[in-house]
Structure 1
Amino acid sequence: MSFTDLAPRRLGASFLAFPAAGLIAAMLTVAGWTTWVVGTRWAMASGALEIDPAGLAVIRFGVAALVLSPVWLRTGLKPKGVDLRTFLGLLLAGAPFVAFVSAGLGHAPAAQSAPVVTGLMPVVTGALAVLFLGDRLDRIRVLGLAIVLAGIAVVVAGGLMQDAGAWRGYALFLAAAFAWGVYSVSFRRSGLSALHATALIAVWSFLAVLPWGLGSLIHAVETAPVHLLAGQVVVQGLVAGVFSILAFSFAAGRLGPAKASALTGLTPLSVLAVAGLLLGEGFDVATLTGSVIVAVGVIAASGSLDRLVSFRLATSRR
């Protein structure tokens, strides 16, 4: 039985044929990323679950590696035709990215992490793509990236005024964005499918973090209520490790990377709202303003604005 046979075929076919399937997938990606950020912030800062970032990473990648085992068992642990440097770059989206974000959430609020991380990701990725892939950025996209940086500056400035020690979290978020940027460039060079890359990242990351996180996970199992651990299994393993990545890949395939990226630019505002409701984190002016600015910048940097302008010009000439 193949991996695709694990899902009900009729339901899958109906969803794939639905005209708004790509839009739904993009919104589900935003929901998945929001759930992961808020859930990780709660686990790291509430004290209800005694576990460190490495322990959370073991949960995330262990569950994902198990769910996607039919993929990596069939294809092997080393993809054919992918050079070692590209392969190692792929793995940065796994344990390193998650460790940086999780550790950063121990120093900075979830509401601030979303605009910083999701804003820096397209900035770093765009810069690396220009340097290593020969991509060119038009004026609107450069302007969009500049707007993103302005929004991040507003969030960081406001956060440092409230807590000078939050700079540690921002530095870790920058490291996470750099890891994601290297992954994005490496993924484009690898020629792998999103499912294949996700499966390989999961199993290799699990093997990498197990020695560091096993002790913390065992301690959490011994001290935490079962329902708290079960919640992190769902949030870290199923939602973040599998669901969100596949949902974004489907959205990008159906809508195109530009439109999918534009829609997921709503993540900062979503995290801000959910973190305020569930974690009691305040809606300070700097974070709210910066999140809006970052969302606008991400939409512009994704290329959606220039496509909209071109469409309107073409329509007006008819």
Structure 2
Amino acid sequence: MSNCPTPAAAGATAEGAVSDRLIGIGCALLAISIWGAWIVSTRHAVHGHLTPATVGWLRFVVPATVLAPAWFRIGFWPRRESVWPFLACFLGAGGIFFLVVANAMRFVPAADVGPLLPGTMPLIVALISVLFLKEWLGIGRAIGFGFIALGVVTLGGRGVLFPEDGAWRGHLLLLCGAAMWAAYTLAFRRTGMRATETVGMIGLWSTIILTPAGLPGVIDAVSAGYGREVLIQLFVQGLLSGVVALVAFGIAIEKLGSSRAAAFTGLVPALAALIAVPVLGEHPDTAAMIGVVATGFGVALASGAFNRGC
């Protein structure tokens, strides 16, 4: 008896694959749109009246609260088989990751954040896949790595050549953050948990570790008359970035796979640079523009965004 699917079954399977891909693409575009604004919002906050720990607390208290029904089904800690993948997710998208990135933004303009954080993350994902998962790279992806390297050198080189401006510290922290985010992207599906459960539990433990430093900062800011700024950060950091974007990106990983979902983050640098012009008055220089273009194009190639098929 043949094991080949009937034409009707094959058609249904193909239709389901197309539906999954469209859902994944939609979720990925939603996430990167929010992250473009998040970069600008975070840099504005840490240069204003809020400390990185305070902004981080606002960032994670919302998903911890909103997604409480999801993580409460599991408990305060994941099951044994999910512990190590969850710890990788927590390190790569939780409170420690946020402090690394937020402190980096104190030294660099918003235009540098995009290429060095979401820009290099897919490169790191691909390198880990090659070295440890034995994934074979085609010529197109190898060329993409070259473009990403060009973008990173163009941006990071300024901090190396002119260390007095302090940008090199931010560049190093952003590259560290990209490696942490790559760990989150690779480990997400291995937790065996739903997107809402993983994001909610990351929010819970991040809130716990940030409360001693973050909550007093919130109280001080409100007492000093910056309550409106706190509310804005609760909305942008907590609801949009902390819940909507992370859940959407988790669904994109589930529907598209790690590499394809990561490819969409190459669009974040351009978004952040464009938003920074009217909001922060930052006009990217020639080096930043080269970095944005080279890294964005390289990420798309290296992550297989132009390939056909699954």
Q: Which TM bucket (shorter chain)?
A: 0.7 to 0.9
Partner deviation per Cα, 1:137-182 (whole Å, 9 max, x = no partner)? 3333233223212111112234666763111111111121121122
3-state secondary structure, aligned to 2:137? coil
Aligned to 1:214: 215
Q: Is the 8 A contact 1:115 1:290 kept in 2?
A: yes
Distance 1:235 1:166, change over 3 A: same
Summarize the alignment of residues 59-98 of structure 1 with structure 2, pairs less than 5 Å apart.
59-82=58-81, 84-92=83-91, 93-98=93-98
- Structure 1 window deviating more from structure 2 (174-183 vs 80-89): it is 80-89
Distance 1:257 1:175, change over 3 A: closer
3-state secondary structure, aligned to 1:156? helix
3-state secondary structure, aligned to 1:295? helix
Q: Is the 8 A contact 2:27 2:249 kept in 1?
A: yes
Matched letter for residue 101 of structure 1: V
3-state secondary structure, aligned to 1:118? coil
3-state secondary structure, aligned to 1:99? helix
Distance 1:159 1:286, change over 3 A: farther
Q: Is the 8 A contact 2:126 2:259 kept in 1?
A: no
Partner deviation per Cα, 1:203-253 (whole Å, 9 max, x = no partner)? 111111112222222221211432211100011101111111122233444
Aligned to 2:143: 143
Matched letter for residue 99 of structure 2: A
Summarize the alignment of residues 257-296 of structure 1 with structure 2, pairs less than 5 Å apart.
257-296=258-297
Report the CA distance between 1:259 and its aligned residue.
Answer: 4.5
Distance 1:186 1:171, change over 3 A: same
**Number of positions where the alignment pairs a residue of Structure 1 with one of Structure 2:** 291
Aligned to 1:196: 197
Equivalent of residue 31 in structure 1, options 30, 33, 38: 33
Q: Is the 8 A contact 1:105 1:169 kept in 2?
A: yes
Q: Is the 8 A contact 2:82 2:190 kept in 1?
A: no
Aligned to 1:130: 130
Supply the distance in 2 between the matched residues of 1:294 and 1:119 (Cα, whole angstroms): 6
Distance 1:283 1:90, change over 3 A: closer
Q: Is the 8 A contact 1:155 1:291 kept in 2?
A: no
Supply the distance in 2 between the matched residues of 1:160 and 1:271 (Cα, whole angstroms): 23
Report the CA distance between 1:21 and its aligned residue.
Answer: 4.9
Report the CA distance between 1:196 and its aligned residue.
Answer: 1.8
Aligned to 2:117: 117
Supply the distance in 1 between the matched residues of 2:298 and 2:187 (Cα, whole angstroms): 24
Supply the distance in 1 between the matched residues of 2:255 and 2:58 (Cα, whole angstroms): 30
Supply the distance in 1 between the matched residues of 2:65 and 2:167 (Cα, whole angstroms): 35
Supply the distance in 1 between the matched residues of 2:85 and 2:41 (Cα, whole angstroms): 31
Aligned to 2:42: 40
Q: Is the 8 A contact 2:122 2:259 kept in 1?
A: no
Aligned to 1:52: 51
- Structure 1 window deviating more from structure 2 (62-71 vs 78-87): it is 78-87
Aligned to 2:105: 105
Q: Is the 8 A contact 1:56 1:213 kept in 2?
A: yes
Runs of at least 5 residues in structure 1 that lack an aligned partner in the other structure: 1-16, 312-318
Q: Is the 8 A contact 1:122 1:145 kept in 2?
A: no
Supply the distance in 2 between the matched residues of 1:178 and 1:268 (Cα, whole angstroms): 17
Supply the distance in 2 between the matched residues of 1:138 and 1:192 (Cα, whole angstroms): 32
Q: Is the 8 A contact 1:104 1:168 kept in 2?
A: yes
Supply the distance in 1 between the matched residues of 2:282 and 2:178 (Cα, whole angstroms): 23
Supply the distance in 1 between the matched residues of 2:248 and 2:176 (Cα, whole angstroms): 24
Report the CA distance between 1:266 and its aligned residue.
Answer: 1.0
Partner deviation per Cα, 1:45-99 (whole Å, 9 max, x = no partner)? 2x3xx22111111111111100110111111122224254333222112111111
Q: Is the 8 A contact 1:32 1:244 kept in 2?
A: yes
Supply the distance in 2 between the matched residues of 1:136 and 1:193 (Cα, whole angstroms): 29
Q: Is the 8 A contact 2:185 2:253 kept in 1?
A: no
3-state secondary structure, aligned to 2:73? helix
Distance 1:186 1:132, change over 3 A: farther
